[in-house]
Amino acid sequence: MSTESASLKNHNTFALPVNAAHLVIAEQIEMMIKAWQKAQKRKEPMLVLGEGSNVLFLEDFAGTVMINNLKGIEIREQDDAWHLHVSAGENWHHLVSHTLECGIPGLENLALIPGLVGSAPIQNIGAYGIELKQVCEYVDLLDLTTGEIDRIDHQDCEFGYRESIFKHELKDGFVIVGVGLRLNKQWSPQLNYGDLTKLDPQTVTPLQVFESVCAMRRSKLPDPSITGNAGSFFKNPLVSGETANELLTQYPSMPHYPQQDGQVKLAAGWLIDQCSLKGYQIGGAAVHRQQALVLVNADNASSQDVVALARHVRNTVASKFGVWLEPEVRFIGAIGELNAVEVLS
Ligand code: FAD
Ligand code: EPU
């Protein structure tokens, strides 16, 4: 399906009232290539979009927004594991539920993360002690210029905390069209986070983990279908061991997570909360009252309201703690992605 000048309000979970010059819902790879060629001919930019749950549109998009709607889940069983090939337009949470219904565990900690399967490798989605990289076998990537599909092995995806090669070298002119997952038959529950630590590893079932994760998420995170938001607005910052120790002397109860490389991850939500910013509002944009890391569209916010609020939060945290937060959310301008830190500086 292809539409001229369309509203993106239902295609971004912040529910910002922005438009695109053209909107294409691509059900087949051929449609994606055609839409790209058309945009090239018009000398207009193109943006590939999933469910818009990790983007902030700063203004109308002056080209084609192409929504990935490729469907299909194939499951192949082997002695030690299930191998899944999932088309990029499948909904992530639907996949998690579907695997559990089929008696296949392994994705339960990643329940209720909004968005599409094809977007999951881009920031290596993670929650409750698991990241996509632990189950991802490969990513199928369409090169829009050549029309060829390359299979990128998981070790070449350069996965990191909210990071992958798909945010860098393999960003422009490429579309993720499929994802391969390997789910081990030998299941061991991951119960290190939050309320999951209360579950008994000897008797717990994948479904109980799934339900506990869903309950925790529902209690903290706003439902985008009711209150616009894009999940954590900022990434949790990584600081040196020295900086973490200095902060800990002043704030002994500060949550901190030492990493293998000697760096220490801090909780951005805690830093923002300590600045008493919960509920703080600029225009229609506010800091969520249950989780300070989430910025919400509280009352018909404009893109400028969200940017002004994010800038205020970032500056306030920096002046109290000397730590500069970086957005996790991707900032989209009229012709493509912008450097979010530069926009907020
Ligand atoms: P979009 O927002 O549509 O796109 C994200 C970026 O990827 C854009 O730059 C887009 O251009 C690009 N893109 C999209 N599809 C493709 C494709 N097929 N090929 C190439 N590029 C593409 N994230 C976590 O990691 N953990 C969480 O726990 C979590 N919780 C969240 C909770 C809430 C309430 C919300 C709203 C968001 C949360 N997120 C979380 C963020 C979000 O769910 C993930 O980043 C998700 O993977 C985004 O999927 P999407 O389809 O909406 O991507
Ligand atoms: N905290 C506060 N006040 C707050 C928020 C958090 O004190 O307002 C404290 C908590 O008490 C806890 C710590 O900060 O000690 C961490 O909070 P939480 O467990 O809620 O997780 P988070 O670090 O804020 C991260 C991810 C989430 C993911 C959860 C669960 C990032 C940027 N965010 O949040 O991912 O769901 O852990 O694993 O890494 C997303 O990326 O959009 C997202 C929602």
Query: Each residue of 19-46: pLDDT tens digit?
Result: 999 999 999 999 999 999 999 999 999 9
Mean pLDDT of the residues in the chain: 97
**Over residues 305-317, mean pLDDT:** 98
Q: For residue 303, what are the contacts with CB-CB under 8 A and spacing of at least 6?
A: 16, 18, 56, 57, 58, 59
Q: Provide the pLDDT confidence category of residue 3 given band limits of 50, 70 and 90.
A: confident
Give residue 8's identity as a one-letter amino acid code: L
Which token pair is 84?
């899944």
Going by pLDDT thresholds of 50, 70 and 90, the confidence category of residue 1 is: confident
| pLDDT for the residue 280 | 98
How large a percentage of the chain has pLDDT more than 90?
Answer: 98
Cβ contacts of 94-98, under 8 Å, gap ≥ 24: 96/210, 97/210, 98/73
d(CA 240, CA 245): 9
Q: Say how many Å lie between the CA of residue 289 and the centre of ligand 1.
A: 23
What is the number of other CB atoms lying within 10 angstroms of the CB of residue 156?
13
Q: How many CA atoms lie within 13 A of 275 on its CB side?
A: 22
Token pair recorded at residue 175: 């579309």
Phi, psi of 152 (to 5 degrees): -100, 115
Q: Are 126 and 132 in contact (CB under 8 A)?
A: yes
Nearest residue CA, atom 31 of ligand 1? 231
Three-class SS state of 252: coil
Residue 338 pLDDT grade (very low, low, confident, very high; cuts 50, 70, 90): very high
Examine the pLDDT at 49 and tell me if it is beyond 90: yes
Q: Using the Cα atoms of residue 156, residue 233, residue 259 and residue 243 in order, give the sign of their dihedral.
A: positive
pLDDT at 11: 98
Ligand 1 pocket: which of 10, 14, 54 to mutate (most atoms <8 Å of CB)? 54
2-7 sheet: strands from edge to edge: 2-7, 19-26, 61-68, 46-49
- Give the DSSP per-residue string, 166-180: GGTTT-TTEEEEEEE
The pLDDT tens digits of the residues spanning 194-205 come to: 999 999 999 999
124 CA → ligand 1 middle, Å: 9
- What are the catalytic residues? 162, 232, 328
Q: Which of 302, 304, 272 is nearest to 288 (CA)?
A: 272
- Name the pLDDT band for 4 (thresholds 50, 70, 90): confident
The pLDDT tens digits of the residues spanning 124-135 come to 999 999 999 999
Of 110, 123, 164, 270, the one to substitute when testing ligand 2's pocket (max ligand atoms within 8 A of C-beta) is: 270
The pLDDT score that the predictor gives to residue 5 is: 79
* Amino acid identity, position 79: D
Enter the tokens of residue 71: 């469907």
Q: How far is the CA of 166 from the centre of ligand 1 (A)?
A: 12
Tell me the mean pLDDT in the region 175-204: 97
CA distances from 170 to 29, 52, 164, 241, 321 (A): 18, 19, 9, 32, 35
For the Cβ of 134 lying below 6 angstroms from any atom of ligand 1, the answer is no
Give 216-260 pLDDT, tens digit per residue: 999 999 999 999 999 999 999 999 999 999 999 999 999 999 999
pLDDT range class, residue 121, cuts 50, 70, 90? very high
